[in-house]
Structure 1
Amino acid sequence: MAKNNSGNGRSTFSVIGSDIVITGDIAASADLHIDGKVEGDIACSSLVQGETSVIHGNVKADRARLSGTVNGSIAAKELVVLQTARITGDVQYDALTIEQGAQVEGRFAPKMDKPAAKQAQQVGANDEPKLAVAR
């Protein structure tokens, strides 16, 4: 199901309903809302996952709002993990919000652009890590 909010024929988002099971990878140029089950990787601009949704695969999106189950790695520029989310896999992000009650089993790492990654490799072994605590 796709909703069209403009007169140019392009859909603004696609919905995978709770009664749908997809086996295979999904690549969407539109925003995606998933309430069903996906057995495969997902790549899209924006992903909204419903509470009853299950994804067995990797997720790559500019923006992701997760509230169901994900078994796989996640890479998103803006990631929101809601309290009902259950994630098993590594998470890469630029901006991250996690609600109290969400469960994540995996490693968190900020995504690094190429200049920052190169700079991180140049840091010497004798450099002390720095920690700042905000009050």
Structure 2
Amino acid sequence: MARPSAPSSSTFSVIGADVAIKGDVSASSELHVDGRIEGDIACESLVQGESSVIEGAISAETARLAGKVSGSITARQLVVLKSARVEGDVHYDALTIEQGAQVEGRFAHRMPSQRSTDKPAAPVASDDGEPKLTLAT
């Protein structure tokens, strides 16, 4: 039986705390990860739970990290919460880091030539070409 398709803006996928995946994960909309992934993740929007572990590269338009990540991260808008532990290089357009978050790696603002040309980028607040870094308290 065919399921009616919902608009991509209202769909999301959840990887529960009891799920472990070995292999790459791709999602066309929002992905919420509470479990463990050993592989690369490519999605529109990533939300990582505090108990989650991701071992692999992350590529997303927006990402909100709260758990452990071992691998490079590329995101247009990235939020690293205080419970997050990141080991790897971070490439971003806009970055917010809560006090207490731990990141071991290099930060690099993405230049226009490094951005994907597959999709038009959504406007970023105060996008004057300068890197945007916000420290949250």
Amino acid at match of 1:70: V
Q: Are 1:75 and 2:88 counterparts?
A: no
Shift >3 Å, 4+ stretches: none
Unaligned runs of 5+ in 2: 115-137
Structure 1 residue 8, shift from structure 2 partner: 4.9
**1:94-105 paired onto structure 2 within 5 Å:** 94-105=93-104
Aligned length in residues:
109
Unaligned runs of 5+ in 1: 1-6, 116-135
Structure 1 residue 28, shift from structure 2 partner: 0.7
Q: Are 1:30 and 2:29 counterparts?
A: yes
Q: Are 1:9 and 2:8 counterparts?
A: no
**C-alpha distance in 2 between matches for 1:9 and 1:114:** 34
**C-alpha distance in 2 between matches for 1:39 and 1:18:** 14
Paired residue for 1:53? 52
Identity of aligned residues (%): 64
Structure 1 residue 114, shift from structure 2 partner: 1.9
**1:78-97 paired onto structure 2 within 5 Å:** 78-97=77-96
**C-alpha distance in 2 between matches for 1:94 and 1:8:** 35
Structure 1 residues 78-111: Cα deviation after superposition (integer angstroms, max 9, x where no partner) = 0000000000000000000000000000000001
What CA RMSD, in Å, does the superposition of the two structures yield over aligned residues?
A: 1.5
Q: Report the TM-score, using the length of structure 1 for normalisation.
A: 0.78
